[in-house]
Structure 1
Amino acid sequence: MERKDQIIQLWRCCFEDSEDFIHRFFSQVYQDQNAWTLEKDGQIVCAMQLLPYTINYYGQSIPATYIYGVCTHPDYRRRGYMHQLLEQAFVRLKEQGSGLAFLIPAHDWLFDCYRKSGFTEAFGCRHATQTYPAIPPYPLVGVEELTASDLYAGWRYLDRKWREEPVSILHSWEDFQFLYQDIIASGGKCFLYRQEDEIQGVLMAVLSREKLFLPEWKADTESVRGALFQAAAAVFQRLEIDYRLPGKTVRYGMARILSPEQFLSRWKEIHPDKPLTDEAWQAWSVREQTTCLLDEPESSGYMRLMMD
């Protein structure tokens, strides 16, 4: 069996993704050079995808890697194979110039597992709910569904808004197209708010366990946000909308610094009141270094619209 087919077989064994998603991921996103695997007894028993991303760090773009689809065959778990594979991946990624590795644990108990490999909580959020007494009216002036013809303009708008965050994970145009297709394939919809040919807001909505959830939304003003939320509630005929806001109430993503030199000079520029000696830095663990660079109270990392 070819390597890619073995990884797909392992994926089916470990995850509950639909065949449609598996087909689209392995035909549109998967690249053999980004697949990191470990073999035992002549078969692949551990695998992960090292997907190239970019992190916006106070206006500076730094190469980063999303470690996705981390899985171990049930018969080979609790033997330390995944930790071993991660350590090998860190060496490779640093050699390739990646400054940061990040991932999203699928279960709460995995946070402790990934801490053993140097990861720490860096991308938090807080959950919020918008409630309406009745289904809002629709259509609304300025709001329209985001279609393929406006997709690039919608991505450009979101990319600009993501870069306004102090620390944020950016999505490439190719990645955004896949994520848009995934939302549409899941029965979701995307909306934009436009006034005088200028996009002033974008919202993406999908039903999750019969509840309306917003994987991403950005708006220039509160009135634009309100119009987009109302449109989503009306189209999906829901009185409640669940969404995320920046914050640290809920753990979401973890990160591990790979090349601190890519971050340190910028960190020192924005924190002139926090002297940091080389001796103090070297005495810290990689988790402490990551916390210092990414977990400042004013810069909780912004991570949305991820495959998780």
Structure 2
Amino acid sequence: MEIRQLRAGEFEDSLSLSEYAFKYKVSAEDRVRAKESFKPEQTWAIFEGDSIGAKLTLLPLEVYIQGKPISMGGIAGVATWPENRRQGYVAHLLTHALETMNEAGQTLSFLHPFLIPFYRKFGWEIYCEYKKYTLPVGKFPHKTEIKGSVKRDIPDLAVFQQLYDQFAMRYNGTLQRTETWWKESVLDDDTHSCVFYSEQGEPEGYVLYKIVQQELVIDEFVYGNELARQGLWTFLANHDSMITAAQLKLVPADDILPFLLPDPRIAQENYPYFMARIVNAKAFVENMIFNVPEGDRERVLYIEDKHASWNNGLWRWTVSEQGGAAFTRIQGERSEADLECSIGTLTVLLMGYKRPLQAAKYGQLSGTAEATAWFEALIPQAETALFDFF
């Protein structure tokens, strides 16, 4: 059994496995395009002789943490032939991917799980969720007279990039989009857009949407201030003679639209979305800025990480007067730790999805009451979100 990156000539074998595992068929025309964009170096596979037994794609991406982009390994397209399942193939690939990401300096990894409990065993944990709203036209926000203007279907990608970045940097875990990502993964021929401009001509918000079977399907609703939010909703409400309802997808978990509606009783759904995992705890912690705790600025943390030995063990966590951190591996017994958690729990705590006091209450974080309070005070409040899929 061999684990290696694919080669250019293995496109058909790779695509055949994807078609079987994910139950779709690629047309001849799309097959040509897929082959032209095929990046064999991004796919790792287990081979038995010349045959692919299982594979995954490892995407070199960047995400925002505390408003700064950091390197992230995005895992996608995990697939195994049925005769090879439950033989540890994916486990070998995931362990190999962690080693590869660590060597490449990717301190964080994301994936969209087919089965959450499966990936939890390897250290990934749910780090964000999203809301989905369905609003009948009669429950839209009231139209308002706005000082500003809306332009529809503008071709200027730089405007979307500017507004998206300003919005995305508010959250931990949002993707830093490249021009290629916008063109290949966000915008398509069926997508309409509108941009709100202030009276001074500054872009302050946008919506990406489609009109499908008398419904507005809103993929992204991004705004920088309340005026832009109202202006965009007024534009959408002006479709009332064409549609019966609107669906808002991938709405951040901290959104309060229902509270702002004349009648907040609309259909609302909440979905756990992507999973995250710290690949290198030392690099991740030392890249963050923390609140400076009162009193003692040092604690010892035990991290349990069965699949990344470079994280597993005791760490001395020291916080400077400026909020920077030194995270130093130390020798000793597990019982000497002030705090103890898994790598998955540490990931969601540092990203802000859950809080230390919550984790301690439900047995996901162990430690003295004093150390837990120290940890709670240490981590800045934050929200998580992701508006993309891979």
Correspondence 1:292 to 2:296: no
The residue that corresponds to 1:302 in the other structure is 385
State which of 159, 171, 174 in structure 2 corresponds to 1:168.
Answer: 174
Deviation of residue 50 (structure 1)?
1.0
Q: Report sequence identity in percent.
A: 19
Deviations 1:171-204 (A, max 9, x none): 22221221234x43xx232222223432111111
**Among candidates 228, 232, 236, match of residue 228 of structure 1:** 232
Q: Does the C-alpha gap of structure 1 residues 63 and 34 become closer, same or farther in structure 2, counting only changes over 3 Å?
A: same
Whether 1:264 aligns to 2:320 is no
Change (3 A) 1:226 1:62: same
Q: What is the rounded CA distance, in whole Å, between the counterparts of 2:173 and 2:202 in structure 1?
A: 26
What is the alpha-carbon root mean square deviation over aligned residues? 3.2
1:128 partnered with 2:211:
no
For the residue of structure 2 that corresponds to 1:245, the secondary structure is: strand
Structure 1 spans left out of the alignment, 5+ residues: none
* Structure 2 equivalent of residue 99 of structure 1: 107
Code of the aligned partner of 2:186: Y
CA drift of 1:220 comes to 1.9
Distance 1:17 1:190, change over 3 A: farther
Check if 1:113 corresponds to 2:135.
Answer: no
Q: Cα offset for 1:271? A: 5.9
Deviation at 1:112, TM superposition (A): 0.9
SS at match of 1:280: strand
Q: Give the SS at the match of 1:264.
A: helix
Query: What is residue 4 of structure 1 aligned with on the other side?
Result: 11
Alignment counterpart, residue 48 of structure 1, candidates 51, 56, 74? 56
What is the Cα deviation at residue 304 of structure 1? 0.5
Contact 1:204–1:214 at 8 Å: present in 2 too? yes
Q: Distance in 2 between matches of 1:22 and 1:117?
A: 33
Letter in 2 for 1:302: A
Alpha-carbon distance, 1:205 to partner = 1.8
Q: Counterparts of 1:2-151 in structure 2 under 5 Å?
A: 2-15=9-22, 16=24, 19=27, 27-28=36-37, 30-40=38-48, 42-105=50-113, 107=114, 110-133=115-138, 142-148=149-155, 150-151=156-157
Q: Deviations over 1:113-171 (max 9, x none)?
A: 1111111111222333333229999xx972223343x1122112211221132443322
Q: Distance in 2 between matches of 1:213 and 1:10?
A: 32
In structure 2, C-alpha distance between the alignment counterparts of 1:271 and 1:214, rounded to whole Å: 41
Q: Which residue of 1 is the match for residue 307 of structure 2? A: none
Contact 2:136 2:246 in 1 (8 A): yes
Asked if 1:188 corresponds to 2:191, the answer is yes
Using structure 1 for the length normalisation, give the TM-score. Answer: 0.82
Q: Take 2:160 and 2:152, find their aligned partners in 1: how far apart are those partners?
A: 11
Q: Does the CA contact (< 8 Å) of 1:143 and 1:193 recur in 2?
A: yes
Distance 1:246 1:22, change over 3 A: farther
Name the structure with the higher helix share.
Answer: 1
Structure 1 residue 291: deviation in Å? 2.6
TM-score by length of 2: 0.66
Shift of 1:36: 1.3
Q: Does 1:253 align with 2:274?
A: yes
Contact 1:167 1:299 in 2 (8 A): no
**Corresponding residue number in structure 1 for 2:311:** none
The answer to whether the 8 A contact 1:204-1:215 is kept is yes
Q: Return the letter of the residue paired with 2:293.
A: P
Once residues 251 and 101 of structure 2 are traced to their aligned partners in structure 1, the CA distance between those partners, rounded to angstroms, is 30
Aligned length: 297
Q: Which entry has the higher C-alpha Rg, 1 or 2?
A: 2
